[in-house]
Structure 1
């Protein structure tokens, strides 16, 4: 009985730490306000936060309960655009993190890259991430 209670306390504590870290990460990167500013929907920032919180909670619950859906082939076609949208969001997070950590300016200064070549650096970084992800998904996860 005590072992079960201890496991529950540790699990809840771990979840609180991870949730707090995720919230702090999104707050420090200022992702939600930036996206609302770009899309001119500043009035919906609280709704965005609510949707993210509910989504994380729901996905966590569904993952823990091994929930599955029996979906048709037509609905499966929605997976492709959803994958692109998720990829765009992850790209936004990675770009925001790189901006916060000032990775690009440090790299430009250390490698003495001219202003004309910064665009090439950014495009090659994005293409490298995309190709690396595709290689992992197609070849490495397929086995």
Structure 2
């Protein structure tokens, strides 16, 4: 009986430590990439940056509880797939844009390849390539594995 309590206590401490580590890594990533202040700057919403911060924290807390408590949402696929795909795409796109901006990849790439005059076209090509690849993966490859 005491062994069961010790095992449960160990698992609880291990889970808490893991969550603390992952949460700290996410916060460090957001701070290093300067994602929230940059988003407020792009949206011209300096005074409302608390809303962006609250949205990130609330989303993390809500979905952590949803995963922990195994929430089930029974919505039709035609509604959920485009909605989830859109939000996932926004998240990945913003994270990728933040990484690109922090590392100054585009200006360096444009200068090295002598494409400075075509920087807008380069960005559009990258966006269209990302969207096309994502749609192809989502609409073709995802449905190919459906029979397994």
Query: What TM-score results when the alignment is normalised by the length of structure 2?
Result: 0.77
25, 32, 37: which one aligns with 2:36:
32
Give 1:19's match in structure 2, choosing from 12, 15, 23. 23
Structure 1 counterpart SS, 2:71: coil
CA distance in 1, matches of 2:87, 2:73: 21
Pair 1:121–1:39, CA change in 2 (3 A)? closer
2:86 match: 84
How far the C-alpha of 1:122 sits from its partner, in A, is 1.8
Give the C-alpha shift of residue 98 in structure 1: 0.8
8 A contact 2:107–2:116 mirrored in 1: no
Structure ranking higher on relative contact order (CA contacts 8 Å, 6+ apart): 1
State the secondary structure of the residue aligned to 1:141.
helix
| Aligned position for 1:137 | 138
Deviations along 1:73-128, whole A, 9 cap, x unmatched?
6xx64764564354234212211111112222332344x22312322322222222
Identify unmatched segments of 5+ residues in structure 2. Answer: none
Change (3 A) 1:102 1:66: same
How many pairs were matched up?
140
Q: Compute the RMSD of aligned alpha carbons.
A: 2.5
